[in-house]
Chains A and B, each alone.
Chain A
């Protein structure tokens, strides 16, 4: 047994390795990226664990499901919005069930530190009717992986481990234990289970619903769901919220139910509710447990307080101070009031970044249009929305730039311009481009090919260089309307001219702005 310094993400990765992992699957996304990176780094020399970035979360999930089908243990990791991409495979994998253990580690981002929304993945676990574990510290990140893999194999279900940013990106010392051997190859031959024709799917779905009492029984008995009955104020803490409660009121007189395994332990909640006069629910994310307990019409005799009643803010990340206020405690005295007029220091594109040159050229090429709008996407280049460039005007979902530009073009908007990075293009841009080309839509796609996934720390991009060119030509873009420029200050005028030519063309065109990310060059 040894003690290692690990991020929550890394503890999940190491827990999976020590649980007998055979494959890790992921697409980079803050705050989940470091799970995959840790497993890749830790297993590179010993081999035995397949670790290669996937093109997107759906692909990652399906690869992990295939590994499970073959009888081996697979970990698939993503950020919360990545699970939207993987949702088709995810939902149906609960219906098929699994063979080798399949664990989905999904990292939510309450407060949207690096995300487009703060959706709560516990709803997805509930939706799919699968168990969910929610660690409150790095040690549990590690320990819960053993439980999750075992549970997955015992129940023949995928199991979700839900993280939030503050645990994913926080380090602590973690005690590790002996590693379990990986499973042998043992493919499933249970054709009806895996072939979700309606006649099979109905049977499988019934199986899934019949497993639910066992899931509940496990939650009630789980060491991760702890009920202590004491005073007449009840507090329910979910996952990391328990830390914020204990930071303020360790050893207090409240009756407390700490929940870290779902489905929610109904009997424990009933006992708590019957014991207390008021109930405060603390959860970092959506008010899932709070609204379940309150129901549509409230709970007779017990006021249920939380995010929906104003004790806690409806949106955003919890922290010890927010929880302190909800518990009715006065703020701690501080050395200084918060500085309220301090100059902000927002993130910005790096000095010398190729995206800066690309967007300067695009801005100038579009300057002859009246207030032109550029659809864009998710990556470092989203920072071009901010001054001084102010070059892009949308960022919605991976690959959405191309689909939205096409829709705007259908409506008669011109020039319909989409700006998307090379990795985002492989993730979600290929299919909307194919669709636009088949429809002959008049749109211009600017692919910012910097040869890496920049924002999340320069991971390998799937469609860059020659591969990118071939994909675009393969989607049917005419060779003469696939233009490649090198975004540098020196090439500015020439690049503006190329973009102008393509803006004038009535049909689908793609301009690739190709120059490597400086961060990636530095690391290489």
Chain B
């Protein structure tokens, strides 16, 4: 078993906090791991990445070779594209779709999303919306690792333990917010995959995820939602409305 993950985002988004959670889970699970990161000048709002590898055997290189990454885990959609050539042909993308626009030539967010949607193996969630629902916009990194946890090799509880350890110094309220962001991210990821596997096109699945209040999502109902959005008449009011609560909107007969 081995897993190679490129963590991506913008300086200040908390990439290294994601790394902390996975590193510790890997160590506690008895795996070897290596995790190369970026310090110094690039942390000032620049593109940052971290190569994280864990395995049940010795790991040689701190850097992941191109074509060997199982997963690009990004807190920002444009940053996925900076590293997707590291992915193996059957590799996965897990990303927040919330753009971080701090450059004048940031491309149209819809175009970025359309590019990510070409990957069949992807999990896309709205980091900002989910983090807000969890109680703090800064928790977008924990949303992303929650969504990605479906592709990792650790029990949810173990990962949550290290989310708690990471924020312990800041008090129980901050711990709870970040754990909630993780949980909601994980649920949103499962809901998203449920939609896609039931035949919903990726852009529609992203859009539906954005409309539904994160704390009300139920992955078990993804197939029903797939049927709803497949019907243009049912779909139109939902995909055009402001945020709605999933539990109020479960289709009749679901």
Binding site for B on A (CB under 8 A): 3, 5, 30-31, 33-34, 113-114, 137-138, 166-167, 169-173, 240, 242-244, 246-248, 250, 319-321, 324, 331-339, 342-350, 380, 383, 455-457
Contact = CB atoms under 8 A, between A and B. Distances in A.
B60 A346 contact: no
B45 A348 contact: yes
Given A247-B65, A331-B67, A380 B34 contact: no
Nearest to A173: B27
A205 B196 CA distance: 74
A336 B46 contact: no
Interface centre among B62, B86, B107 (most CB of A within 10 A): B62
Given A31-B40, A333-B89, A343-B106, A166 B65 contact: no
B44 A347 contact: yes
A166 B63 contact: yes
Contacts of A33: 39
What 9 A-B pairs have minimum CB-CB distances, sorted nearest first? Answer: A332-B67, A30-B40, A347-B46, A114-B40, A335-B87, A170-B36, A338-B85, A347-B44, A320-B65
Given A247-B61, A320-B65, A343-B105, A335 B37 contact: no
A30 B41 contact: yes
B14 interface: no
A342 B86 CA distance: 15
A31 B43 CA distance: 13
Contacts of B38: 113, 169
Interface string B239-251: 0000000000000
Nearest to A244: B61
Interface string B86-111: 11111100000000001101110000
B203 interface: no
| B interface SS class | mixed
A5 B87 CA distance: 26
B27 A5 contact: yes
B61 A333 contact: no
B219 interface: no
B174 interface: no
Nearest to A79: B40
Contact of B41 (A114, A170, A350): A114
Contacts of A248: 65
A238 to B, nearest CB: 15
A333 B67 CA distance: 6
Contacts of B10: 345
Interface of B: 10-11, 19, 23-24, 27, 32-47, 59-68, 78-79, 81-82, 84-91, 102-103, 105-107, 119
A321 B35 contact: no
Given A334-B88, A383-B44, A250 B34 contact: no
14 contacts: A5-B24, A31-B39, A166-B63, A247-B65, A250-B60, A332-B67, A334-B89, A339-B84, A343-B106, A345-B10, A345-B46, A345-B79, A347-B42, A347-B43
A247 B2 CA distance: 13
Nearest to B119: A335
Contact of B102 (A113, A339, A345): A345
A243 B62 contact: yes
Contact of B78 (A113, A114, A343): A343
Contacts of A34: 39
Given A347-B43, A348-B44, A170 B62 contact: yes
A240 B61 CA distance: 8
Contact of B40 (A171, A343, A455): A455
A335 B47 CA distance: 21
Given A243-B61, A320-B61, A345-B78, 10 more contacts: A170-B36, A170-B62, A335-B88, A335-B89, A335-B90, A338-B85, A344-B103, A345-B10, A345-B47, A348-B46
Contacts of B27: 3, 5, 173
A336 B85 contact: yes
Nearest to B105: A343
Contacts of A243: 60-62
Nearest to A246: B60
Interface centre among A5, A34, A172 (most CB of B within 10 A): A172
Nearest to A335: B87
B40 A321 contact: no
Contacts of A455: 40-41, 44
B144 to A, nearest CB: 17
A457 to B, nearest CB: 8
Nearest to A343: B105
Interface centre among B38, B63, B81, B86 (most CB of A within 10 A): B63
B230 to A, nearest CB: 28
B11 A334 contact: no
Contact of B34 (A171, A332, A344): A171
A332 B68 contact: yes
B179 to A, nearest CB: 21
B83 to A, nearest CB: 9
A170 B35 contact: yes
Contacts of B41: 30, 113-114, 347, 383, 455
A172 B33 contact: yes
B63 A339 contact: no
Contacts of A332: 65-68, 88
